[in-house]
Amino acid sequence: MPSETLSTMISLFKKKPKLVDLIPNGYIDIHSHILPNIDDGSKSIQETSSLLEEMALLGINKCIATPHTMTNVWDNSTNFIQETFFNTKSQLPMKLAQMLHRVSSEYMMDESFIERFQNEKLLAIKDNMVLIEMSYLNPTVDLKNILFQLQIKGYTPILAHPERYLYFHNSKQDYFRLKELGCLFQLNLLSTVGYYGKSVATIADFLLANNLIDFVGSDIHHDRHVNAFYESIKIKSQNELIDAINKNSQLE
């Protein structure tokens, strides 16, 4: 058998790596829900401690906690989020407290979002970059104006998990339009192992292949999310995924 043919066959049958194997030493995670009793993530300081220990085993060195801020669901103010962050650090062993690097928030672009950032300083991932999200059910009304007003205020939007908004799946040009409007994209790592379904994994692959992903995040809420890191990736764009993971070092 010709060596080229043999090499091709080996490549075809080669198992894809587990997601955990792609996490580099010193990785900084920019999206997690590990602060206790503040949103739909950790429910106690004990769970926070356990999650951080498990995240350390994944190779995660530092975390930026990003609890939800959503009108009438999680009305978390900047002050309350910061108080919860520092109170949590004070209750953790030093090694785990040091993992909690900074605190930000994942802001829902709802009807009150413009009023919120006009009247309250948002918690940035780093510098002026803020993590935003949309409803999974319907696209945000007046999205273009919200993004414009946010940037006029001096913020750079990072759209969380763009691959999970199903209404974009049949309108891929919307992703390019969002980039033109100044959005950075943060991919959820678990999308690459099929955690949210095949269609989300397919779009994650598309976004990576088209170099549309700027950063990645774990979006860890509980230990089921941690366990999914030990699954094999389902996407083809492995090199692009590795590049995206490495970009997180810019946000340390």
Q: Which of left, alpha, beta for 205 (phi over 0: left; psi -120 to 50: alpha)?
A: alpha
Q: Return the half-sphere exposure (C-beta side, CA atoms, 13 A cut-off) of residue 160.
A: 27
pLDDT at 15: 84
The tens digit of pLDDT for each residue in 33-62 reads 999 999 999 999 999 999 999 999 999 999
Q: CA-to-CA distance for 188 and 106, rounded, in angstroms? A: 13
Q: CA-to-CA distance for 133 and 31, rounded, in angstroms? A: 12
Those residues whose C-beta lies under 8 Å from the C-beta of residue 94, and which sit 6 or more positions away, are none
User: Rounded to an integer, what is the distance from CA 240 to the centroid of its chain?
Assistant: 16
Q: For the purposes of burial, counting CB atoms within 10 Å of the CB of 211, is it exposed (0-12), middle (13-18) or buried (19 or more)? A: exposed
Contact 212, 185 (CB under 8 A): yes
What residues pair up with 18 in beta bridges, in sequence order?
A: 232
Q: For the purposes of burial, counting CB atoms within 10 Å of the CB of 173, is it exposed (0-12), middle (13-18) or buried (19 or more)? A: exposed
User: Rounded to an integer, what is the distance from CA 133 to the centroid of its chain?
Assistant: 10
Q: pLDDT band at residue 10, thresholds of 50, 70 and 90? A: very low
Instruction: From the options 3.20.20.140, 3.40.50.2300, 3.20.20.80, 3.40.720.10, give the CATH code of 22-251.
Output: 3.20.20.140
The mean pLDDT of the chain is: 94
Contact 92, 100 (CB under 8 A): yes
Q: CA-to-CA distance for 102 and 135, rounded, in angstroms? A: 25
Beta strands in the chain (DSSP E): 27-29, 60-65, 68-69, 100-103, 106-108, 129-133, 156-160, 184-188, 215-217
Tokens coding 202? 């397919």
The tens digit of pLDDT for each residue in 89-117 reads 999 999 999 999 999 999 999 999 999 99
pLDDT at 130: 98
Those residues whose C-beta lies under 8 Å from the C-beta of residue 72, and which sit 6 or more positions away, are none
The overall longest dimension of the chain from CA atoms, in Å, is 70
pTM: 0.93
